[in-house]
Structure 1
Amino acid sequence: MSNLLRIALRNLFIDRERGLLLFFLIASASAVLVGMMSLTSGVASAQREAVLTLLSGELNVGGYFKVHPDTIAPVMGDARRVRAVVEPLVPAGCGLRERGRGLASVGAGRHRGRSFMTSLDVTREPETLASIRLAGGSLEALDRPRTVALSTSLAERLRVKVGDVATLFSEMVGGKRNALDVEVVALTEPAGLLGESAAILVSNATLRELGGLRPEAAGVLQLTCAGGAEPGPLDDTFRQALRQAGFDVLPASREAYGDKVAPLLRENWSGQRLDVSTREDEASFLALVTDGLAALTVLVGLIAILVVMVGLFVSLSVSVRERTREIGTLRAMGMHRRSVVGLFLLEGLLMGLLASATGAAVSALLSVLLRGAIPLPTQMAKLFFSSTLPLEPHLPGAVLAVVLVSLGACLASIIPAARAAALSPRSAMESL
């Protein structure tokens, strides 16, 4: 084996021009694949952060309340009872935050706009407030009564700025409409494709006043974990515990809470029903982005590996023709056919491994250096949930790219290796 390794290494350095060209080809393929993996991972992380900041927790326990069958509100009438059931199930390092959610209209003068409204527990969510990008004002001011933060796009439609007064309109639990004059205290930057999903931000107290809710009512309890940790699959555990406590719990459904309102409104029931959803459920309408990037990464990977295989196949096929004397001489000296096959496979594997590892290392290093350094156009920033190119390389991804490219190089060597092994010792004499 050591002799084959020495011969293989020597042969890789004999034709340097061809070897360097092939090395660059394989390294480029590996670098592109690692770069696509870094982009896919970075977009997924940026999307997850935006969703957890504005839209959802890792797990959500929300409610739908109907005073009579013709009205519905995304509310839990007694959040304290629900919290008492699910809080003992919360993993270490995680906690429950209370939020509200729903649709609201906002007006200023003759201008009107309608969007999703989210309420925050301002005093207990400093990290959330710090992660929301602002165009002006301060989110801490939401702690004051009757205040609101609007997205820049909604503020432009209303032609309001920080310090102006607007009016919120929303439907109360019983179906009546209510209005509340509020001060605009902050303007928020767009959060990717979430768009208007959280264009109106208020405090829990302001939402209760607007919706005519009791102090013990809440929209949703959201499970969040420190350091971005994922708590694991707890949705079925939460559902079972809530059912055992006597609550009417909706079956699992991979839909956002807003998509469930219309079907539930058509059902002939009244009272309280609870719903347990995951982050993936609430962000299911965004799956197209990450799934599309993952599919594109697979496609790019297949093309890159195919290019490597074709390039190496051609190079080794030419090498077999040029090394007819060498192969015949080795066979005449007693080298077995399987050793000749092993020699060419080893050459392909070494070239693939060395070149792909180099390309992967360079690509990963560039991803680290360029992360957050390349600004993106507005539309692409929305798609990627980041104003700069979100690159996030991971060692397992780089190792996978090296393995796949090296395996492709090894497979491309099989046919040239078999042709080389088919040469007889007499071919060396005939080629003299």
Structure 2
Amino acid sequence: MLSLLRIALRNLFVDRERGLLLFLVISSASAVLVGMMSLTAGVATEQRKAVKTLISGDLNVGGYFKVHPDTLAPVIGETPRVRGVVEPLLPASCALRERGRGQAAVGSGRHRARSFMMSLDVKQEQASLGLMPLEKGSLEALDRPHTVALSQPMAERLRVQVGDVATIYAEMVGGKRNALDVEVVAITGRAGFLGEAAGILVSNTTLRELSGFRSESSSVLQFMCPEGTDLDTLGGSLRQGLRQAGFEVLPASHEAYGDKVSPLLRENWAGQRLDVSTWEDESSFLSFVTDGLTALTALVGLIGLAVVMVGLFVSLSVSVRERTREIGTLRAMGMHRRSVVGLFVLEGLLLGLLASAAGALLASLLCLLLRGTVPLPAPIASLFFSETLPLEPHLPAVVLAVLAVTLGAVLASIIPAARAAALSPRSAMESL
């Protein structure tokens, strides 16, 4: 085995120009694959951060209430009782926050825009406020009555600034329309597509007044749990516990709150129904971003592997023809066919492993250097949920890229190796 390794290493250095070209091709394919995987992971992280900051907890217990079948309000009518059921079922490490949600329109002068509306408790969510992107004003000012924070796209459409007065129009629990004059105290920064989907932020108190909720009611109980928590299993436990307590709970579905409103509104029932969802459910309408990047990464990887395999196949095939005398001589000296196959496969393995490892390492270092430093144009920033290029290299992804490219190199060397092994010892004499 050591002799085969020495011969393989010598052959890689004999034709340096061809070897260097193959090294560059293989390392480039590995580097591009690592870069795409880092971008996909970074976008997924930024999206998750934005979703869990603005519209969802790790786990959510929400309510849908109908006074009569043709109305629907996003409220938990018996919030204290629901809390009493779910809190004992959750790990002590999960933190609770009460929020409100719904849809509303905001008007200012001749301009009007409609968007998703969220509310929060300013005093209890100081940490969350610090994570929200802010362009102007102060989110702490939402603690004052009749105030609102608008996303930058909403503010631009309404042509309002901090300090201006706008009017929020929303539907109350019983189906009547309500309006409330509010002061714009903050303009939040762009948060990807959530800047469009969650453009209105108020306090829980303002939302209760606007929607006609009782003082102890909330739209949704959101639980923030540590990394690694099995949210699906925990959500199943909450559904079972709520049903045992006498609540009617919707079946599990991978849909966001807004996607459930229209189907529930068409159903002929009245009363209270609860829903348990994860942050992935609530962000399902954004899955096209990460799914698209994952598909693009797979496509780029396949193209890179194809280039590596074709290049290495052609190079080794030429090498077999050029080394006919050498192969025949080795066979005449007693080298078995399987050893000849092993020699060429080993050459492909060494070249693929060394080049892919070098490319992956270089790409990882470059991603770490460029992370958070490359500004993005507004359309791409909205798509990636970040103002700068979100690159997040992970060791498992780097190892996967190296293994995939190396495997492609090994597979590409099998047919040339088999051709080399098929040469007889007489080839050495015939090539003289």
Shared fold, TM over 0.5? yes
Q: 1 CA distance for matches of 2:271 and 2:428?
A: 91
Contact 2:152 2:195 in 1 (8 A): no
Matching residue of 1:326? 326
Partner of 1:218: 218
Label 1:107 to 1:98 Cα distance change in 2 as closer, same or farther (>3 A): same
The CA distance in 2 between the partners of 1:370 and 1:14, in whole Å, is 37
Q: What is the CA distance between 1:63 and its match in structure 2?
A: 0.4
Structure 1 residue 147: Cα displacement: 1.0
- In the TM superposition, residue 98 of structure 1 has moved relative to its aligned partner by 0.7
Query: What root-mean-square deviation, in Å, do the aligned CA atoms of Structure 1 and Structure 2 show?
Result: 1.2
- Measure the CA separation in 1 of the matches of 2:333 and 2:131: 71
Q: CA 1:275–1:142 in structure 2 vs 1: closer, same or farther (change >3 Å)? A: same
Residues 58 and 231 in structure 1, CA contact (< 8 A), matched pair in contact too: no
The number of equivalent residue pairs is 431
Asked if the contact 1:58/1:230 (under 8 Å) is kept, the reply is: no
* Number of the residue aligned with 2:144: 144
> Residue 364 in 1 paired to residue 364 in 2?
yes
**Correspondence for 2:273:** 273
Q: What's the counterpart of residue 61 of structure 2? A: 61
User: How far, CA to CA, are the matches of 1:181 and 1:274 in structure 2?
Assistant: 31
Secondary structure at 1:122 match in 2: coil
SS in 1 for 2:180: strand
**What is the deviation of 1:232?**
3.2
Partner residue, 2:291: 291
- The alignment status of 1:411 with 2:408, answered yes or no, reads no
1:93 to partner: Cα distance:
2.6
Query: Are residues 1:238 and 2:248 paired?
Result: no
The residue type paired with residue 405 of structure 1 is V
- Other-structure match for 2:261: 261
Find out whether 1:121 has 2:97 as its counterpart. Answer: no
Equivalence for 2:52? 52
- Contact 1:39-1:391 within 8 A present in 2 as well: yes
Aligned residue number for residue 343 of structure 2: 343
Q: CA deviation at 1:155?
A: 1.6
2:428 paired residue number: 428
Mapped partners of 1:304, 1:42: distance in 2: 21
- List, as ranges, runs of 4+ consecutive aligned residues in structure 1 with deviation greater than 4 Å: 228-231
How big is the shift at 1:173? 0.6
- CA drift at 1:267: 1.5
- Equivalence for 2:99: 99
Contact 2:189–2:195 (8 Å) recurs in 1: no
- The superposition leaves residues 262-321 of structure 1 with CA deviations (integer Å, 9 ceiling, x where unpaired) of 221122211111011121211111111111110111111011011100111111111111
| Distance in 1 separating the partners of 2:400 and 2:364 | 13
Percentage of pairs with the same residue: 75
> Which amino acid in the other structure matches residue 171 of structure 1?
E
* Shift in Å, 1:161: 1.0
How far apart in 2 are the matches of 1:429 and 1:156? 83
- Structure 1: unaligned runs, 5 residues or longer: none
Instruction: Please state whether the residue corresponding to 1:20 is helix, strand or coil.
Output: helix
Shift of 1:130: 1.1
Equivalence map 1:129-208=2 (5 Å)? 129-208=129-208
Separation (CA, whole Å) in 1 of partners of 2:356 and 2:27: 5
**Counterpart mapping for 1:75-90 below 5 A:** 75-90=75-90
Give the conservation status (yes or no) of the 8 Å contact 1:225–1:231: no
Displacement of 1:231 after TM fit? 4.3
Distance in 2 of aligned mates of 1:231 and 1:83: 20
Q: Which moved more, 1:390-399 or 1:131-140?
A: 131-140
Distance across 1 between alignment mates of 2:422 and 2:107: 83
Instruction: State the Cα distance separating 1:113 from its structure 2 match.
Output: 2.1
Instruction: Measure the CA separation in 1 of the matches of 2:148 and 2:53.
Output: 17
Structure-2 change in CA distance of 1:386 and 1:24 (3 Å): same
Amino acid in the other structure paired with 2:188 = T
SS class of match (1:124): coil
Residue 110 of structure 1 is matched in structure 2 by 110
SS in 1 for 2:218: coil
- Stretches of structure 2 lacking an aligned partner (at least 5 in a row): none
Amino acid in the other structure paired with 2:290? T
Q: TM-score, normalised by structure 2?
A: 0.97
Q: Secondary structure at the match of 1:390?
A: coil
Query: What residue is the counterpart of 2:316 in the other structure?
Result: 316
Structure 1 SS opposite 2:123: helix
Paired with 1:363 and 1:166, the residues of 2 have a C-alpha distance of 49
Matched to 1:34, the amino acid is V
The range that moved more, 352-361 or 90-99, is 90-99
C-alpha distance in 1 between matches for 2:196 and 2:304:
39
Pairwise CA distance, 1:252: 1.5
Check the 8 A contact 2:104/2:116 in 1, yes or no: yes
Q: Secondary structure at the match of 2:99?
A: strand
Q: Distance in 1 between matches of 2:326 and 2:158?
A: 81
Equivalent position amino acid for 1:351 in 2: L
What do residues 89-114 of structure 1 show as CA deviations (whole Å, max 9, x unaligned)? 22243212111000112222333222
Letter of the structure 1 residue corresponding to residue 95 of structure 2: G
Distance 1:402 1:339 in 2: 25
Q: Say which is worse superposed, 399-408 or 179-188, in terms of deviation.
A: 179-188
Question: TM-score, normalising length from structure 1?
Answer: 0.97
How far does residue 392 in structure 1 lie from its aligned partner after superposition? Answer: 0.5
User: Does the aligned pair in 2 maintain the 1:170–1:211 contact within 8 Å?
Assistant: yes
- What is the CA-CA distance between 1:238 and the residue it aligns to? 1.2
Amino acid at match of 1:429: M
Aligned residue type for 1:6: R
